[in-house]
Amino acid sequence: MSTTDARTLRDRVLDPGSWVSWDAPVAARDVSPQYAAELARAAEKTRQDESIITGEGLLRGRRVAVVAGEFGFLAGSIGVAAAERLIAAVERATEEGLPLLAAPVSGGTRMQEGTVAFLQMIGITAAIARHKEAGLPYLVYLRHPTFGGVLASWGSLGHVTIAEPGASIGFLGPRVYEALYGEPFPEGVQTAEHMAEMGLIDAVVAHEDIADVADRALNVLAARRTWHQDVAGAERPTAEDGTDTDDPEDGRSAWDVVTASRRADRPGVRRLLRTAATDVVGLSGTGAGEKDPGLLLALARFGGAPCVVLGQDRRGQSLSAPLGPAALREARRGMRLAAELRLPLVTLIDTPGAALSQEAEEGGLAAEIARCLQDLVMLKAPTIAVLLGQGTGGGALALVPADRVLSAANGWLGPLPPEGASVIVHRTVDRADEMAADQGVRATELWRAGIVDRVVPERPDAADEPQEFCLRLGRVLGEELAGLLGRDDNERFRSRLHRYRHLGR
C-alpha cells in the first residue's frame, strides 16, 4: 500500500487556496556527516526540511489548525526539530482557540537522534493535553503506516480518531518484531480495520470522506461557543409534546407500560438519531480495546444544540449478549469527552438489564456501575437522561443521574424486571404486574416522585408512530439542552447534587 504525501492529503481535505504554512525554517544542526547526508537526501526527495508540516486552513469555511506527518522524510520519524515544530503548532492552535486536526504517519522515533528524540513524546503529549484542557477539539486521522512513539503519543489522544482504509498501525513495527523474535507478527492485527473492530479507533474513513466527518464532528465539538445562534431557528415543542408542569397521567397501568416497552418494533436510539438529530458522528469503543454492541456513543445536535449521546441500543442487546461492563466503560469515555469539551451529555436508557455472568463479575460490572454513577453525578457538563424504554436494574441506573430526567410515556425504571421482583417477594413470576404497580416504575409515578421532570407522550405507543415520536422527543431534547446551556454552571451543579441528596425525603 502506498503512502499519500502530506501536501496531497492536506489539499484533499481543506478548502482550495486556504492553506497558510506555520513552518519556521529548521535551525542548523550539529550532527554527524552521515546523518547530515541522510537529512539532505530526505529534503531533496520530499522538498521539505522536516517530517512534519504545520499550518492553518479553512475546512468548509471554518478556520482550523493542521499538523501532518510526511513519510517520505526519513519514514516520518520524529526527532527534536520535528517535535519542536509540532509542539509550536499545537501551542499556537491553543493560543488562537483553533480546533486541531492531526494526520500522523511515521515509523516512530528517529533512531539517529537516540534517547533525546525518544523523550520528545512527553513534550508533544503535554502540548496536546493543554490544548484539550482548554476545551478545544483535537481530531486525529491515522495514516499508513503509523507506528511507535507517534502512535503512542499524538496519534492516540484524539477526541475523535479515525484511520485510513488498509493502514498498518501499531506500536512495534512488524519488521522489527520479526528481527527480534524470529517470527512474523500475526497477520491482520496491526490494521485500521482491526483497530476499529476492537474499539481502539472510531472508524475507518477514506480520504474523500475526511472533510465531511471532520466538519460534522466540529459542528458539535466546537458548538459550545455558538449554540445561541445555532438554536435560534430550531422548531420548539408545543404543549402537545409534553410539559414539566402538567400531570402526565394517561390511564396506562404499570404492566401496560412494561409490556409496551418490550415491543420488538419500538424505536430505539438509532431511530431517534436518524430521525431527529443532525451532524451525527458515531464513535466506537472505549479507546482502550473494548466495545459493546449494547451501547451507542455519538456526537449529535438536537434543535441546533450540541451534545454527546450515550444510548443503550436495544438492537445490540440480547439474552445471549446482554449489556456488559465494557458498555459502561465506553459510556465513561463519553462522559470524559463531554467534560473535556464542556458539552452537554444526553443518556438514553433502554435495557432489559445488565449481564449476569462470570464474565461480567470478573469484568467488574458492579464497580463500573459505581464509577458511572460517580462520574455522572460529579460531571461539570450539563446532563439529560431519557428513559426511552426499559429501565432495568443497575445497568439502567448507571446512566440516570442528570440535571434533567425525561421519560417516554412507556418508559420505566425499576431495581429488577418485575418478574424478578415478584420472585423475591412472592416466590413466583405470576405476580409481576402487581409488583410493577407496587414499585411505582412507570413514568407518571416517577414524575410525581420527582425522579422524572418531563414525560414525552406516545400516541398511543411509540412503536405505532415511530417517526412522530422521535421528532417529538427530538424537539423536547433541543429545548431542554438549550435551557441547560443557558444556566449558570455552578448553580446547575449545586441543584443536581441537592436533587439526589433529598430524593424520596
State how far the Cα of 455 lies from the Cα of 350, in Å rounded to an integer.
15
Looking at the structure, tell me whether residues 294 and 213 fall in a common domain.
no
Lowest mean pLDDT among 113-117, 236-240, 414-418: 236-240
pLDDT, residue 495, reads 97
Scanning 96-144, the segments in alpha helix (DSSP H) are 114-118, 120-133
State how far the Cα of 4 lies from the Cα of 90, in Å rounded to an integer.
23
Q: Residue 255: what residue type?
A: W
* Banded pLDDT at 143 (limits 50, 70, 90): very high
Looking at the structure, tell me whether residues 351 and 491 fall in a common domain.
yes
Q: Is there a cis peptide before residue 145, judged by omega within 30 degrees of 0?
A: yes
Q: Which residue, 90, 110, 210, is CA-closest to 161?
A: 210
Looking at the structure, tell me whether residues 215 and 236 fall in a common domain.
no
Task: Tell me the mean pLDDT in the region 146-168.
Answer: 97
Q: Specify whether the backbone of 244 is left (phi greater than 0), alpha (psi in -120 to 50) or beta.
A: alpha
Q: Which residue, 410, 436, 409, is CA-closest to 421?
A: 436
Looking at the structure, tell me whether residues 171 and 280 fall in a common domain.
no
Q: What is the CATH number of the domain that holds 42?
A: 3.90.226.10
Residue ending a domain, among 190, 220, 250, is 220
In a domain, 1, yes or no: no
Looking at the structure, tell me whether residues 211 and 241 fall in a common domain.
no
Residue ending a domain, among 220, 244, 265, is 220
State how far the Cα of 503 lies from the Cα of 407, in Å rounded to an integer.
17
Looking at the structure, tell me whether residues 216 and 330 fall in a common domain.
no
State how far the Cα of 173 lies from the Cα of 17, in Å rounded to an integer.
36
In a domain, 40, yes or no: yes
Looking at the structure, tell me whether residues 214 and 253 fall in a common domain.
no
Q: Is there a cis peptide before residue 104, judged by omega within 30 degrees of 0?
A: no
What does the block give as the cell for 196?
Answer: 476499529
* Banded pLDDT at 1 (limits 50, 70, 90): confident
| Beta carbons within 10 angstroms of residue 497's beta carbon | 12
In a domain, 75, yes or no: yes
Which residue has cell 510526511? 70
pLDDT, residue 223, reads 83
Looking at the structure, tell me whether residues 136 and 250 fall in a common domain.
no
> pLDDT tens, 25-48?
998 888 999 999 999 999 999 999
DSSP 8-state secondary structure symbol assigned to residue 337: H
Whether the pLDDT of residue 101 is over 90: the answer is: yes
Residue ending a domain, among 173, 200, 220, is 220
> pLDDT tens, 239-279?
787 877 777 888 889 999 999 999 999 999 999 999 999 99
Range(s) of the domain holding residue 106: 6-220
> pLDDT tens, 313-351?
999 998 888 999 999 999 999 999 999 999 999 999 999
In a domain, 386, yes or no: yes
> pLDDT tens, 404-437?
999 999 999 999 999 999 999 999 999 999 999 9
Looking at the structure, tell me whether residues 351 and 436 fall in a common domain.
yes
Task: Tell me what the pLDDT averaged over the chain comes to.
Answer: 94
How many structural domains does the chain have? 2
pLDDT, residue 262, reads 96
In a domain, 207, yes or no: yes
DSSP string for 252-291? --HHHHHHHHT-TT---HHHHHHHH-EEEEEE-S-SSS--
Looking at the structure, tell me whether residues 141 and 279 fall in a common domain.
no
Looking at the structure, tell me whether residues 105 and 68 fall in a common domain.
yes
pLDDT, residue 240, reads 80
Looking at the structure, tell me whether residues 29 and 168 fall in a common domain.
yes
* Banded pLDDT at 147 (limits 50, 70, 90): very high
Task: Tell me the mean pLDDT in the region 456-476.
Answer: 97
pLDDT, residue 235, reads 79
> pLDDT tens, 204-226?
999 999 999 999 999 999 887 77
Task: Tell me the mean pLDDT in the region 110-127.
Answer: 96
pLDDT, residue 109, reads 94
For a pLDDT cut of 70, what percent of the chain falls above it? 100
* Banded pLDDT at 505 (limits 50, 70, 90): confident
